[in-house]
């Protein structure tokens, strides 16, 4: 596997390596594969691709190693093309790398809050995208009787997920 770091300006590199939100199932639930993407990935990784839908690489990505892409030189076209709004703002000089890094850390903290709230409600499946975990947890609870303690966890979960969704759409991916 290719363990080389991202080839970007130092500030962008530090930002992406501190983040990982576009690969870890928080912003996206999968990546569309096209052309030679699948063959290149399989050759580089030497393993089958984890898919939930045909023609798509499931996220959280199996190739994310901590917050670094382990198949960077062979990553799919969409991964090559994607730049989040935060990175664009840093590259465009509208935001300093330090401010962006603080925003990344604040957002990762929100992700941890959501994961903790999900865990309190019995969902610890970190192989699934965060939004899917959130929605299925709510569905499961809606179809069962919840006690007061669970109801408190549900309201915490809903609030933390709302905060996270706002942060993602405001800062990283306005299209979401």
> Residue 13 in contact with residue 6, Cβ under 8 Å?
yes
Contact 102, 90 (CB under 8 A): no
- Spatial neighbors of 47 by CB under 8 A, at least 6 apart, are 62
Task: Report the candidate in 168, 157, 171 with the shortest Cα–Cα distance to residue 27.
Answer: 168
Task: Please tell me whether residue 56 binds ligand SF4 under the rule CB under 6 A.
Answer: no
C-beta closer to ligand SF4: residue 22 or 114: 22
Pick 63 or 134: Cβ nearer ligand SF4: 63
Q: Write the DSSP symbol of residue 20.
A: -
Nearest to 125 by CA among 19, 27, 25, 53: 25
**Cα atoms in the 13 Å half-sphere on the side-chain side of 114:** 28
Exposure b/e, 32-61, CB count within 10 A at least 16 = b: ebeeebeebbeebbeeebeeeeeebbbbbb
Contact segment (CB under 6 A) with ligand SF4 among 44-52, 68-76, 87-95, 124-132 equals 68-76
* Interface pick for ligand SF4 out of 79, 111, 114, 164 (rule CB under 6 A): 79
CA end-to-end distance (rounded Å), the chain: 32
Q: Does 69 bind ligand SF4 (CB under 6 A)?
A: yes
Among 33, 61, 97, 104, binds ligand SF4 (CB under 6 A): 61
Give the range of 60-68, 87-95, 96-104, 129-137 binding ligand SF4 by CB under 6 A. 60-68
Binding residue for ligand SF4, selected from 19, 23, 87, 168, defined by CB under 6 A: 23
131 lies in the site for ligand SF4, by CB under 6 A? no
Q: Which of 14, 26, 33, 71 binds ligand SF4 (CB under 6 A)?
A: 71
* CB of residue 20 to ligand SF4, shortest distance in Å: 8
Q: Interface residues with ligand SF4 (CB under 6 A)? A: 23, 31, 61, 63-64, 69, 71, 75-76, 79
């Amino acid at each position: 596997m290719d363990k080389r770091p991202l080839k970007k300006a130092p500030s962008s590199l530090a930002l992406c390596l501190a983040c990982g939100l576009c690969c870890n199932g928080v912003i996206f639930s999968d990546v569309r594969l096209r052309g030679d993407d699948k063959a290149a990935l399989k050759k580089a990784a030497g393993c089958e691709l984890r898919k939930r839908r045909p023609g798509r690489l499931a996220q959280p990505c199996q190739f994310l190693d901590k917050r670094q892409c382990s198949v960077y030189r062979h990553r799919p076209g969409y991964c090559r093309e994607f730049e989040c709004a935060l990175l664009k703002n840093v590259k465009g000089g509208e935001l300093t790398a330090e401010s962006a890094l603080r925003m990344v850390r604040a957002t990762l903290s929100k992700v941890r809050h959501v994961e903790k709230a999900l865990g309190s409600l019995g969902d610890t499946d970190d192989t699934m995208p965060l939004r899917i975990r959130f929605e299925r947890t709510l569905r499961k609870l809606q179809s069962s009787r919840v006690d007061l303690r669970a109801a408190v966890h549900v309201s915490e979960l809903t609030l933390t997920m709302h905060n996270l969704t706002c942060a993602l759409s405001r800062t990283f991916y306005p299209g979401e």
